[in-house]
Amino acid sequence: MMGIDVTEQFVSEMIEPIAGTADTSRMAIGEPGLPRRFSWRNRLYEVDTVLARWKESSPCRNGSNERYLRKHWYSVRTTTGDVMKIYFERQSRTARQAKARWWLYTMRAPES
């Protein structure tokens, strides 16, 4: 897992993608449709630039030697200048959170 910069605020909260704004250009290679607009804490954010993308995998939970892709990570800059690390969980954590697939991991406010 990547480290957290001292200027980043740890969040770990669900974000809500705005319907119809997903970037579908990379779905053909197995990535989720990154939402270009989403809400968090009743505020709307719009992705301006994708700064980085990476994947997280882990061993099979049932003991086989296979590895499974668990998360797709993105470092994005919003139109307001915030830099956010967001991720998509390939499998929801619980049935109760079945629709909670996109998460805001950290946030860094624009530099003054």
Q: So what's the pLDDT on residue 1?
A: 47
40 and 15 in contact (C-beta within 8 Å)?
Answer: yes
Q: State what percent of residues in the chain have pLDDT above 90.
A: 62
pTM of the model: 0.82
Is residue 2 included in any domain, yes or no? no
Is residue 55 included in any domain, yes or no? yes
The pLDDT tens digits for 16-34 are 999 999 999 988 888 899 9
Count of structural domains within the chain = 1
The pLDDT tens digits for 61-110 are 777 778 777 899 999 999 999 999 999 998 766 555 556 799 999 999 98
Sign of the CA dihedral with 101 first, then 105, 109, and 111 last: negative
Is residue 100 included in any domain, yes or no? yes
Is residue 37 included in any domain, yes or no? yes
Is residue 74 included in any domain, yes or no? yes
Is residue 38 included in any domain, yes or no? yes
Distance between CA 104 and CA 83 in Å, rounded?
11
Domain of residue 22: give its range. Answer: 9-108
Per-residue CA distances from 107 to 36, 95, 100 (Å): 16, 27, 19
Q: So what's the pLDDT on residue 94?
A: 58
Task: Tell the burial category of 76 from Cβ atoms under 10 Å away from its Cβ (0-12, 13-18, 19+).
Answer: buried
- Helix, strand, coil shares, percent, the chain, to 5: 5, 55, 40
Nearest one of 57, 43, 48 to 87, comparing CA atoms: 57
Is residue 1 included in any domain, yes or no? no
Sign of the CA dihedral with 14 first, then 56, 73, and 7 last: positive
Is residue 4 included in any domain, yes or no? no
Residue 59's contacts (CB-CB under 8 Å, 6 or more residues apart) are 65, 66, 67, 68
